[in-house]
Amino acid sequence: MDVYCNQNGALIHSGAVVANNMNAISKTLAILVIGINIYPCIPNTFGIIKSQGGGFGYGLLLLPILFIVHLSLISAFLTFFKKLSNEIALVVSNSVGLIVGAFYISMLIRVG
């Protein structure tokens, strides 16, 4: 059993430190996913739908990628509830949404 003192002199079990780190990581991922959705992804989705996919409709091919990022918004918002904040499934879902969102942004920068 690993027990040590924090800065205030209180004894902390190592499991509590892991839970705090996990909570910080999951909230950071959630904030990044929300940020990626707010700026580039949601406006681009509306633009693609409004233009009906562009001249030849190739913009519609991007919508499945964008919907994956949009679905990760659900897990990002659920992360901020105390009861669900340490769920590993939410961390995995936010990570997948962040990876797909980063891929989309990198393609947007290269092509656009």
DSSP for 36-82, written as a single string? HIIIIIHHHHHHHHHTTTSSSSGGGGGHHHHHHHHHHHHHHHHTTSG
In-domain check, residue 58 = yes
In-domain check, residue 3 = no
Structure confidence at residue 7 (pLDDT): 64
Give 91-105 pLDDT, tens digit per residue: 999 999 999 999 999
**Rounded to whole angstroms, how far apart are CA atoms 98 and 112?**
20
Domain that residue 93 falls in: 24-111
| Number of domain units in the chain | 1
In-domain check, residue 11 = no
Give 27-62 pLDDT, tens digit per residue: 999 999 999 999 999 999 999 999 999 888 888 998
What pTM was computed for the model? 0.81
In-domain check, residue 70 = yes
What three-state secondary structure class fits 12?
A: strand
In-domain check, residue 30 = yes
Contact 17, 11 (CB under 8 A): no
Q: Which of 1-10, 32-41, 82-91 has the highest mean pLDDT?
A: 32-41
